[in-house]
Amino acid sequence: MVHLTGIPTDSSLQPSSAVDAASKEPESGPVKHLGERLAKVVLSAREQSTREQGDQFMTSVYASKYAAQDLPKHEMPEGGMPKEVAYRMIKDETSLDGNPMLNLASFVTTFMEKEVEDLMTESLAKNFIDYEEYPRTAEIQNRCVSMIGRLFNAPVHDDAASIGTSTVGSSEAVMLATLAMKKRWQNKRKAEGKPFDKPNMIMSSAVQVVWEKAMRYFEVEEKYVYCTRERYVLDPKETVDLVDENTIGICVILGTTYTGQYEDAKAINDLLDERGLDTPINIDAASGGFVAPFVVPELEWDFRLSHVVSINVSGHKYGLVYPGVGWVIWRDPEFLPKELVFNVNYLGADQASFTLNFSKGASQIIGQYYQLIRLGKNGYRAIMLNLTRVADLLAAALKNMGFLIMSDGEGRGLPLVAFRLDPAKEKRYDEFAIAHQLRERGWIVPAYTMAPHTDEMKMLRVVIREDFSRSRCEQLICDMKLSLGLLDEMDKKMLKEYTDYIGRQRAHAQKKPEGQNQHDVYKDEEHSLQGTTGKTHGIC
């Protein structure tokens, strides 16, 4: 708000003698014009002086010149700015993001205790790869690998360490597991004197996009088992039927990003045994790796199955650590070819390394170790069971509202609820309209299309994270009812205008420069599942 009493007048800016002289001059003529010009010069000088004083003493960030300027977007500025200004300008910019606590689209951890936050902050300057400088941090990684390996029933004995490594996320872990399977297959083919130039891998069409990247980057043909309107996961028989001599492995997902369902690793393992095939399995446990062992410990999906040779898991999802950290564990050194592991002397210490990157922060690894020893198995079990109960509560409420529930409840899948409108009810609006209504109330609930070959089925998904309590769930249920009521009350014309408005908003957001996260050259790719089929990727 501008206070009028704070705006200086010409008389207040001019010296008293100048005012008196001006009052004696005629109302027209060159002297009057000269006085006006002098007054403007004085005013400009006063403004400049006030501006400089404001910048110098920083009485308010918004009184500085930076508040009236655009933030740099393409070129690094010549001069800097005070730290208070940089902090406030960036904070204001990011305040336009959604609230992470209300972001029900993401699996990523949004809450950690203050004690572990302090530990992680104190380790921000540590480069994990500097083993000699930070030997205890390297030891902490090894402890995490062993704990997670034993959680997944890796066949180790006594104090023997599990085989694995930390990564910057489960995506890097997927890349490493793929490389290991490909190299092992190539070595076998070379030893047999057979061609090794056409590797393939079998997976569901509901895979996360990192699997498409791994296939593309490492020149492996993807063989998809497509979902249907009734089945959203791998069909075991169809999967094993696709195996041939060039198959380097099968990806089995423990918790798909679409519906959270666990694919049947045991059925696939048993079929491979029945047919005498030695095809390895990698379990993509990015989301389910820290859920299934505590909620359904009797479920056989891990190293208890003879064909499972590697497991990737995300620490920053249900591992309860801020992003980004992931882990990949191998069954035995046999399944991690030696030629992929580098012994590097870095800063004076020899070390074995199998990662796609080199330098990375140590904070998230320390955060993972804190959670493992702070919570223990009982703590993780209590959290995951609570999340499962909240998911079941939400699923029951949505079912009563008339939605079709696509996810598996009672711990048979991830603690999430995937749902869609019942076509039999012939609603005049779709899932995207519901998502938009919820967004107006602060909730970020994703609407997207299911995997290819499902007739462009639309759906919604709510991920239940550690900080999503029962009371917050009940508030979401209340807002969902209000949203449906509002949409139901709209007449045909109003609803069409509303859906058209949503479409225009989405199109406008994509056209805005700040809404474009890719270069124009790459926006029309046709090699991914999204590029070829138009389906949207499940959000992680």
| 325-373 pLDDT, tens digit each | 999 999 999 999 999 998 877 666 677 788 888 889 999 999 999 999 9
Token pair 């992470």 is at which residue? 100
Report the percentage of the chain scoring pLDDT > 70.
Answer: 82
Output the pLDDT for position 130.
84
| pLDDT exceeds 80 at position 532 | no
Give burial (CB, 10 Å; 0-12/13-18/19+) of 281. Answer: buried
What is the pLDDT averaged over residues 46-63? 62
CB 356 within 8 A of CB 337: no
| pLDDT exceeds 50 at position 439 | yes
H, E, C per residue of 283-319: EECCCCCCCHHHHCCCCCCCCCCCCEEEEEEECCCCC
* DSSP at 98: P
User: Poorest-confidence range of 314-318, 371-375, 425-429, 529-533?
Assistant: 529-533
CA atoms within 13 A on the CB side of 519: 2
| pLDDT exceeds 70 at position 48 | no
- Residue with the bigger pLDDT between 170 and 98: it is 170
pLDDT tens sequence across 143-157: 999 999 999 999 998
CA separation (Å) from 269 to 68, 163, 305, 435? 64, 22, 7, 39
Output the pLDDT for position 267.
99
Output the pLDDT for position 395.
98
What is the distance between the alpha carbons of residues 268 and 272, in angstroms, rounded to a whole number? 6
- Residue 516: which pLDDT band, with cuts at 50, 70 and 90? low
Output the pLDDT for position 539.
46
Which token pair is 261? 């369902």
Bridge partners, residue 459, by sequence: 448
Output the pLDDT for position 490.
86
